Structure 1
């Protein structure tokens, strides 16, 4: 039995309203469900892969959701194990399979932030389907360049990865395998930025050292430095500390009886303190990047291109979640990472480049993919290497190679 949405529930853009529900399908029996259950599937898991999607909700040429595409990953992976590693299974050399889990951030960006509702009155009513596609797909790239929405995307991906790993380990307490991340298109850039800002042991020691230095000044020291020690009793009465002082606004200071002059001095100090904190954080990130970039630019030159402040622009002020697990491999599929790094002003990453907490990085692309870019010239621009051709799992030629063989002139182009 099918129940379809009524036509009057469509808005002026021919989209379903937020109150409309998808058609419900009710069937008798479980015949179709039982056919989908894989009886011979290996239960043990020795490798866990998370798949992060790119722009838009549709993740392939059929515009299927990420969950369906990840199901294909899982099914094809199982079939490859059965066809290529059958002897290993029979000899008990292979005791586990690869599990694929989806990580979706599109809903968090477009529905939870309310950005779609704010864009709707701004969007022209002509060519509605194309404009809807643009708002929900192409604009994701622009959203990622915004510090506000970039933070939403990065936080969603990082927190969801940690949450699913915790659930997975709870259900598989004896898991001893490795974890890999797969990013497609913009998703690969999200994963790259997330992994690039993971702190190794050396960075963690430096951060702890900086935090200890910051925590040495107390409220009395601050008031002494500002020549406002005579007003300390007002702060003591309200149990205000150096940490809580930074959370106060001018109305709060007025309510405790602080005169206008001292109020302005303290508010200016809070503002400057936030400015200095942001600047120090950016400088530390730039110094780390200088080591990886192997660039001739100095810290001063790079600082000149940065906007400091509590609401600056770009990637430098993003708070990146710390991953609670070790990443063994990062697979970038159809990735624009090289292009984005170039646009950000990064000329090269250096021969000794390595992601801080990830051992292996694979840039996988189709030669006809317009979104894909090479990464190797950023490592060493003087070395020009042909990309390695990945063999098809069924042993046949790739489609573009078949077409090239049919048309000899294509080889020249």
Structure 2
């Protein structure tokens, strides 16, 4: 019979250590296993959900969960574990009183039970602290979880936690012992071991937990399956985009928040698809200005006829906004309200993101683009009245016969002129109050579905005054759907010949060339212009006296119908095949384009600025020296326009119509179809990131060419919480 080993043989053999160098011996491996101690901050996970009983709880990101847990322990007086404290010191993280979470868009309440939107109203969700979980990792109610946690620590504290999921095999499941149990409401919790904990529903009529059947046990888990980490956080903000709404927001204050979420989701989807390695993200924030204005204080509603009330209310909430803005009485209130709201949102964003130093752009829809343009250019209708007064005085001066009257008018004009000279910036600066100015610089203005061109025509705007100074806004992009009845072009304001030059058509989001610089694309003539020239030539050859008149009667029909049939963007609609035939050289004549083909946009983006400027000068010089008989129709048209009348960059960008865009219904919906358009989303990424990123192949796709008609819109939820957080 073997003798048991002595006590000395059972102890681990340690090397002798001199007294002056004595250290704590390394414990055996079995003592390094986890023990039952209070949960660390990283083991607790916080969840959110909409206020609906059938919605599942969604876990927050690691950083958000840790922030809420630190705030929770501060309020409850609970200790923060040593591991979390050391990690915070290592990462340089400081505790804050305000728990801003969910990509920086929401803030938790004081009692940490709800979360509400920071930048818009009436958007809340529930919060729940998760410590004990059901098999699908849904958290138990806090009061039940706290009771289970207290009983668990009381009975099993400092006991070793096995690495397995259960201490018993399937055969031993029936013979599991019952070490302890806890009754809570209509439920019982029974412990068979330190890790075998089961929840029983003792009430047949209770429907509190749909996961638990009466009389059948449901296993419980302590601590979330994945610990929270500070590295699990929202991506850094690279660009701030303020989204300004237009008409139709009266009574629908949160509609712009939903639309902003749709734009945000569409842009993020394109970045995930083409830029999976890009860590930063642009931040889209809504600017809701209509509900904060009093305007006529409800007088319009009192004078509205009762018949056909629904239609009249719809007109009052849409068309009336345009009339208000045209009124000198309410225009200033609208300007002040929009500028004040943008400044407030900007300040709130900077308070929560003090390290942000990126550019700021504005995405303005419909009337919002006109208001934003006027704020940036400091335009005021009094300038028109001042011009009218000046012309009236000049006319009266020529007709005045009385020398005394003429002298009085001359003195008035001299004093008026001296007053304007003494004011820096002239009368326009005098008319702009501090409330109408933005506290930040704007890099890009995306005017979407914009009637800005019509407003400028009614103001008598000239070519030199269409584009604001570069210090005011870097560039304006006029994006429109071809069937949008509210949208108009801006480029023909520089020269009427631009009506025959097609706006830049956006590539389909399924086309890899959608990432190429759009400024390198050649200009294209409308097909009806070519037809007009051919008809005129035939008329001259046949000595038809009415030929010129007939050529002018050709309808200015758009080429979008052909593009809709092909679900593409004219000649550059689909991604060219790899190793295919050589492309034709680009048309010359547009002074900022080069001779490279459009398929080489990614290569050209790597060229130096000096080489690009050299190509531009050579193209312009070559076009100027080209013999008239060798010039294309585009070159001849641009020759009529002249270099000084051309806009510095392309402004008008045309959204591709889909196959279903036909009839009056397309006209009605086209004005509100920009928010989910994937082509616009990819275009925004193109502009915001300056075409400087290397685009990857699209995710989960076997080909680079897809049906654009089926990928036109991104399907997102209309619910603000689920769509935005």
- Calculate the TM-score normalised by the size of structure 2: 0.33
The whole-number CA distance in structure 1 between the counterparts of 2:370 and 2:342 is: 16
Aligned partner (choices 491, 496, 499) of residue 381 of structure 1: 496
The whole-number CA distance in structure 2 between the counterparts of 1:59 and 1:369 is: 24
Aligned partner (choices 34, 44, 52) of residue 27 of structure 1: 52
Aligned partner (choices 330, 350, 362) of residue 169 of structure 1: 350
The whole-number CA distance in structure 1 between the counterparts of 2:234 and 2:59 is: 17
1:391 aligns with 2:507: yes
Tell me what 2:284 maps to. Answer: 100
The 5-angstrom pairing of residues 14-413 of structure 1 reads 27-28=52-53, 31=56, 42-57=234-249, 65-86=255-276, 89=277, 94-109=278-293, 112-113=294-295, 115=296, 117-197=298-378, 319=433, 321-349=436-464, 354=469, 356-384=471-499, 385-395=501-511, 403-405=564-566
- Retained in 1: the 8 A contact 2:378–2:432? no
User: What is the deviation of 1:373?
Assistant: 0.6
Q: Unpaired segments of 5 or more residues in structure 2?
A: 1-49, 62-101, 104-227, 380-411, 515-558, 568-658, 663-725
- Retained in 2: the 8 A contact 1:353–1:379? no
The whole-number CA distance in structure 1 between the counterparts of 2:463 and 2:426 is: 14
Q: Secondary structure at the match of 1:136?
A: helix
Computing the radius of gyration from Cα coordinates, the structure with the larger value is 2
| Structure with the higher helix share, 1 or 2 | 1
- Calculate the TM-score normalised by the size of structure 1: 0.56
The whole-number CA distance in structure 1 between the counterparts of 2:358 and 2:280 is: 9
Change beyond 3 A, Cα 1:405–1:29: closer
Q: What is the CA deviation profile of residues 226-259 of structure 1, one whole-angstrom value per residue up to 9, with x for unaligned ones?
A: xxxxxxxxxxxxxxxxxxxxxxxxxxxxxxxxxx
The whole-number CA distance in structure 1 between the counterparts of 2:377 and 2:475 is: 13
Q: Secondary structure at the match of 2:457?
A: helix
Q: What is the CA deviation profile of residues 134-178 of structure 1, one whole-angstrom value per residue up to 9, with x for unaligned ones?
A: 111111000001122211211111111111111111211111211
Change beyond 3 A, Cα 1:104–1:41: same
Change beyond 3 A, Cα 1:134–1:337: same
Tell me what 1:217 maps to. Answer: none
Count of matched residue pairs: 270
Change beyond 3 A, Cα 1:402–1:32: farther
Relative contact order (alpha carbons < 8 A, sep ≥ 6): 1 or 2 greater? 1
- Retained in 2: the 8 A contact 1:49–1:182? yes
Q: Secondary structure at the match of 1:140?
A: helix
Change beyond 3 A, Cα 1:338–1:65: same
Change beyond 3 A, Cα 1:64–1:163: closer
User: What is the deviation of 1:341?
Assistant: 0.8
Q: Secondary structure at the match of 1:346?
A: coil
Q: What is the CA deviation profile of residues 343-364 of structure 1, one whole-angstrom value per residue up to 9, with x for unaligned ones?
A: 1122433698645411111111
Q: CA RMSD in A?
A: 4.1
User: What is the deviation of 1:325?
Assistant: 1.0
The whole-number CA distance in structure 2 between the counterparts of 1:340 and 1:351 is: 11
User: What is the deviation of 1:59?
Assistant: 12
Change beyond 3 A, Cα 1:116–1:177: same
Q: Secondary structure at the match of 1:394?
A: coil
